[in-house]
Each structure stands twice: as structure tokens, then as C-alpha cells.
Amino acid sequence: MAAQTLGGTGLRVGVLDVGERDTTYGRLVPPGDFTTIRTTDDEQHAYFLGIDYEGVAWADNRVGSQLTPPRGHLVRGVPSRIPVVSETFFPLESLAYGGLGGGWGLGCFVFSTSELERAGLPAGPLREAYQVVADRIGISGARDDAARHCLGDLQRIQPAPPLEENLRGLLAAYERRRTRFNRQGFHLGRSALALLTEPKDGREPTSGNDMDFWSDDGRSAYRSWITMDALRAEGAVEYLVGRLVTRFEERADSVAVEAMRCDGSGQEQLRARRLVLAPGALGTARIVLRSFGEPGRALPLLSNPYTYMPCVQPRMLGRAIAARKPSFSPLIMYHEPGEEGGEILQAAFFSYRSLLLFKLVREVPLGFRDARRIMHELLSSFTIAGVHHPDRGDPSRTVRLDPHADSPTGDALAADYRLSADEQRANDGREALLARTLRRLGCFPLKAIRTPHGASIHYGGTLPVAADGAPFTLDGSGRLAGTRRVYVADGSGLRYLPAKGITLTLMANAHRVAAGVLETMRDG
């Protein structure tokens, strides 16, 4: 998003990227809806299970469990090139063309004014930036009870896609007792998704084929590589692939950027008038720690804890699932505690089908024969509630660089992430409240699966925004303290992560920072 703001402005903009891409599966996945493919394609095993059966992973690896073989390139090269060493934190990072934006869940959520302030972001400029991003990527949604935390004041929003039957019952149950739920602080409504329901910029509206975890056919789901393709086609940026940026050094009139060539041909140095870092909070932490020569320094770390609750809706037992439905979460629930400074609770609802039944079967503590029968019968009634918890930060949660002989950079990111007893209690309380409310909606949680820390794939806070210019902080414009020409356009500066998706805010902030950099270039 920063590249889009900077590119095509008359400046020479270079994008350094490792740029891993899918070279296998894009041509294997046929057009068509999930049910038709499942009942007709003899070659479906190739992409559903993977050429190397990588889609039949057995290790308990819930981080990134939604990564299907066609999305496997998102994490290619990560363990070897940018290793993480931790017993408590298990992040998912990407070196792919377009980064993790190639596989995000499309949920769009504006931060409230208080959330922006807590995070260290200026409310006014962010509101404008949200609209710029919405106009670029295309968002669909509805002005309903959830809109305050999804769409906010965004304009030019496309209509929400049709709601699937599995979740229509949930919404109907809420609407029958809306007043009572609202009085208790609960609001349920349509998610805002970066998913087109009308044509835009050569991209097609969603067909509801429920193949979105396997293919980007029609480009109806916004993926960051779509923007990079467009920028390159326009000649707005120079794209330098196969480079892993390792460090920078600021000089009198420029920034020297060092990158490791991924083809093994050595190091490369480039010079720029400005450097905008946006590999993600963890990637930026690595580069900054090396550049300032303090690899062992502990930087703070924020990440939303994430729990998902598989549930059963008895009203849906024995129903068929419509052939066409979107793969993404179409329904969202909020609880606003009512007291000043209280944390909202957000739950996103999904039905389950296109990630295949065998993955659910292993969660049942019975033999596969009987577990398959049970899950097959329950499939249409299955609903998953995904819950993020906030992170206000804690000194015990940190990242630093430790020596690592096997790493091409000679180091690895060491991370520690633990919740205090109070934080865990608060999270447990939120989950219990959600479970009670779900039961009142006729949706019965079977269990709460607390994913490993890092599984939310929401990271921030490693270089928190601060007014005092302290080392390893950012100023309000995103400029790295101690530098004149280095800016950070990812989540590194966020001092707080509310319990909601952060991608739209990250994109908006990236645009804001880049727009500010542009101003400094014009000012000389």
C-alpha cells in the first residue's frame, strides 16, 4: 500500500522483495464451485492434498492451518531465511510476492477513535487513509448493527454478498431478540470484507464458488499482489525480486540498504533518499536491531491471542449446504462492555466445508471410522467462532536477535510471549461470555481451542510510537528515532492491538506514512 502511494509520483521507487510465488498450483485448480469440483475432478487430490501431500500435515501445527497447498508458497523459505527460536511464540511470516496479503481472511475493521489513540495513531489522518484504502481495494458490507466496528464511516462500499443458510439462522435468532442483546452490549451483523460483489478495476465480483482458500480466480478477493502487479504494469515502481533486506546505514545524504541475494550470489547494496520498511513488525525488528548494532536488545512484542470455538447449530442438522457460498467469514459479533476503557470482544463466524472434512475428523477423540460418520452428519450444522483478544503489551513479551549459525544472516529472532494470570483470566471471562451468548443464539460451542501465541498472525509494537524520540521508537510520522530518512510503514509502531482484525488499519497506516514521506521529498 505504501508502494502504491509513492509510485507513479515522478519519484523513482524501488521495491526490494524476496517474492516467493506459486509456480505449481495456479494452473491445477479448475474453475467451478467446490461441490462440482469435489464430485467430478479426478485430479483434485493434486491441489487439495498437495503434490507432496503437504496438505495432510500431521504435526500439531495450528498456526496457519488455513494455508492450503496452493498457498504454501506464502511460507516458503521462511524457516531457513528468517528463523524464529521460541518455546512460547509461533508466528507466521511470509517472504511471498505481496506478503501475507496473499492469504488473509479479508476482514476489514476500522479502529475506533479511542483504539487509534491507544495504538498511537492519529485519528483524523487514519480516517482519511481508511477511505483511500477502501477505494483502492474494494470493500463489501452492510450498514447494520456491526457496521460501527467494521465499516465505520467508509463510503462507496459494495453490497454484502448473500448470507449462507448456516449463518442466516444465527442472524435471525439475534434479530428476534435484538433489543435484549443490545441492552447487554451485544451486536451482530455482516462483516466488512475486501471481497467484490460488483466489478472493479478489471476484477470480477465473487461467484460464491467456495474455492477462495484454493484459488484467486476472478481476483474478487483483494490480494496484495494484485496491487503489485498493477504498479509494475504501470511502471510506477521498480521491483527487485530475490532480495532479502538485512540492514541499512544512514549516510549524510542517503540511506545505504544492504540486501542478501536469495540466489546465493552474495550481498548487494543500494542507495536511496528515503527508506520505507514494511516487511511486518517482526521483519522490521530484525533489520533495525542489526542496523543499530544491538541485536541482543529486547524489543516489545504485541500479538492478539486467538481462540476458535467449533460449535453446532441444531437448527441446521440434516440441511444440505448450498453449492455456492463465500469461503470467508460473513458474520461478526461484538460485545461492548459499556464502561470507559473497556475492551470490546469480537467473534467472527464461519461455516466449514471447503477446508475438507478429514481435518475436522482428527479433532474427534474416536477412531476415524466413527469420527468421520459423526462429522459428516454434523457438517451442515457446524459453525466456527473465531475470537481475538486484545494485547496492551507487557514487559515480559519481547523479541531480540540471537546468534544462529545455520541462518544465512547469522542470527535468529528469539521471542518470548506469555500472558499474565490476570490477562488469561480476562480472556477466559470473555470466552465464557461469548459461549453463553452463543447458546442463547442456538449455537452450542463444543470446546475452545486456544491456538499457540502467534497464531493470530497479528503482530505489532516492536518499535512503539513515542513522542520522546527514545531509541527503537517511531515518531508520529512513522520515522525511526535516531534517523532522518528511515520510516516504518507496518505494524511496528502500534502500542496496542484491540480485539479485531488489524489488516485494514495496517494498510491505512502504510498509506499515511508513505504520504508523509512524499511530503518530505517535496520539501527536499
Partner 1 sequence: MVARCLIGRDPTDAERMRYADAVTRRAIPLSGREARLWRRMLAWPWIFNAVDGALALVRPTSDIRQRGYTMLAVLEASPQHADLFLARRRARALVVLSVLAAAAAGALRALLGLLVIAATR
Which residue stretch of 45-53, 149-157, 426-434, 495-503 sits at the interface with partner 1 (rule: CB under 8 A)? 45-53
39 binds partner 1 (CB under 8 A): yes
CB of 375 to partner 1, least distance (A): 9
DSSP structural state of residue 341: T
44 binds partner 1 (CB under 8 A): yes
Rg (CA), the chain: 23
**Number of alpha carbons in the 13 Å side-chain half-sphere of residue 263:** 5
C-alpha cell at 355: 477446508
Closer CB to partner 1, residue 156 or residue 369? Answer: 369
Instruction: Give the 3-state DSSP-derived string for 91-123, with helices as H, strands as E and coil as C.
Output: CCCCCECCHHHHCCCCECCCCCHHHHHHHCCCH
Size of the site for partner 1 (CB under 8 A): 44
Question: Where does 196-317 show beta strands of DSSP type E?
Answer: 238-241, 243-250, 255-261, 266-272, 275-277, 299-300, 302-303, 306-312
Among 376, 418, 436, 447, binds partner 1 (CB under 8 A): 376
Cβ neighbours for 131, distance < 8 A, ≥ 6 positions apart? 154, 155
Among 56, 172, 432, 470, binds partner 1 (CB under 8 A): 56
Distance CA 216, CA 333 (A): 27
C-alpha cell at 7: 509510485
Cβ neighbours for 349, distance < 8 A, ≥ 6 positions apart? 167, 170, 329, 330, 331, 332, 333, 383, 384, 385, 386
60 binds partner 1 (CB under 8 A): yes
**CA-based diameter of the chain, in Å?**
71
The C-alpha angle with vertex 274 and arms to 270 and 279, in degrees rounded to 5, equals: 75
Closer CB to partner 1, residue 366 or residue 470? Answer: 366
CA distances from 177 to 180, 332, 443, 445 (A): 6, 17, 15, 20
Among 35, 94, 191, 398, binds partner 1 (CB under 8 A): 35
Closer CB to partner 1, residue 27 or residue 369? Answer: 369
3-state secondary structure of 455: coil
Closer CB to partner 1, residue 301 or residue 379? Answer: 379
For residue 99, count other CB atoms closer than 10 A to its CB: 25
* Cα dihedral across residues 65, 383, 304, 143: positive or negative: positive
Closer CB to partner 1, residue 82 or residue 371? Answer: 371
**Which residues on neighbouring strands pair with residue 217, listed in sequence order?**
none
Which residue stretch of 38-46, 143-151, 299-307, 492-500 sits at the interface with partner 1 (rule: CB under 8 A)? 38-46
317 binds partner 1 (CB under 8 A): yes
Among 7, 19, 55, 189, binds partner 1 (CB under 8 A): 55
CB of 513 to partner 1, least distance (A): 44
CB of 349 to partner 1, least distance (A): 17
327 binds partner 1 (CB under 8 A): no
Closer CB to partner 1, residue 48 or residue 349? Answer: 48
Distance CA 163, CA 189 (A): 11
Among 128, 377, 402, 519, binds partner 1 (CB under 8 A): 377
Torsion angle, CA of 427/304/451/429, rounded to 10 degrees? 10
Residues 333-362 touching partner 1, rule: CB under 8 A, are 353, 356-358, 361-362
Neighbour-count burial for 231-262, b at 16+ CB within 10 Å, e otherwise: beeeebbebbebbbbbbbebeeeebebbbbeb
Q: Please, are residues 181 and 173 in contact by the beta-carbon 8 Å criterion?
A: no
Which residue stretch of 32-40, 204-212, 260-268, 415-423 sits at the interface with partner 1 (rule: CB under 8 A)? 32-40
Closer CB to partner 1, residue 198 or residue 370? Answer: 370
DSSP structural state of residue 55: G
3-state helix, strand, coil in the chain (%, to 5): 30, 20, 45
**Which residues on neighbouring strands pair with residue 428, listed in sequence order?**
none
CB of 61 to partner 1, least distance (A): 12
Which residue stretch of 5-13, 171-179, 300-308, 316-324 sits at the interface with partner 1 (rule: CB under 8 A)? 316-324
Closer CB to partner 1, residue 241 or residue 312? Answer: 312
Residue window 378-417: x/- pattern of binding to partner 1, with contact defined by CB under 8 A:
xxx-------------------------------------
Closer CB to partner 1, residue 9 or residue 40? Answer: 40
Closer CB to partner 1, residue 238 or residue 377? Answer: 377
CB of 438 to partner 1, least distance (A): 20
Which residue stretch of 5-13, 78-86, 259-267, 317-325 sits at the interface with partner 1 (rule: CB under 8 A)? 317-325
Distance CA 472, CA 514 (A): 20
Closer CB to partner 1, residue 40 or residue 80? Answer: 40
CB of 57 to partner 1, least distance (A): 8
Closer CB to partner 1, residue 61 or residue 420? Answer: 61
Closer CB to partner 1, residue 327 or residue 456? Answer: 327
CB of 206 to partner 1, least distance (A): 21
Cβ neighbours for 446, distance < 8 A, ≥ 6 positions apart? 309, 310, 311, 312
Interface ranges with partner 1 (CB under 8 A): 35, 38-42, 44-45, 48-49, 52-53, 55-56, 58, 60, 314, 317-321, 353, 356-358, 361-362, 364-374, 376-380
